[in-house]
Amino acid sequence: MCLAVPGEVLARFDGEGGLPFARVRFGAVVREVCLACTPDAVPGDWVVVHVGFAIQRFDEAAARRTLALLDGDDEVR
């Protein structure tokens, strides 16, 4: 089983070799994520991240529902 987690793109930058990267917020945690699979992602977008790669852009409402489920919130809407 694989786990991919939604996060919000805060800022973009070029990484080593010119690959697109972003700082992505997952709740209180911010990590650097490769955007090679989602080069059109911009700050404010939500992306699904698996092993350090943003693998697709994601709807904000769906991202928030997923995060609520991961937090154990029984009142998911």
Q: Name the band, by pLDDT with cuts 50, 70 and 90, for residue 50.
A: very high
Structure confidence by residue, pLDDT tens digits, 19-44: 999 999 998 899 999 999 999 999 99
pTM of the model: 0.86
Q: Please give the Cα distance from 71 to 55 (Å, whole number).
A: 22
* pLDDT over 70 percentage in the chain: 92
CATH topology of domain 5-70: SH3 type barrels. (2.30.30)
Mean pLDDT of the chain: 90
What is the 3-class SS of 30-77, one letter each residue?
A: EEEEECCCCCCCCCCCEEEEECCEEEEEECHHHHHHHHHHHCCCCCCC
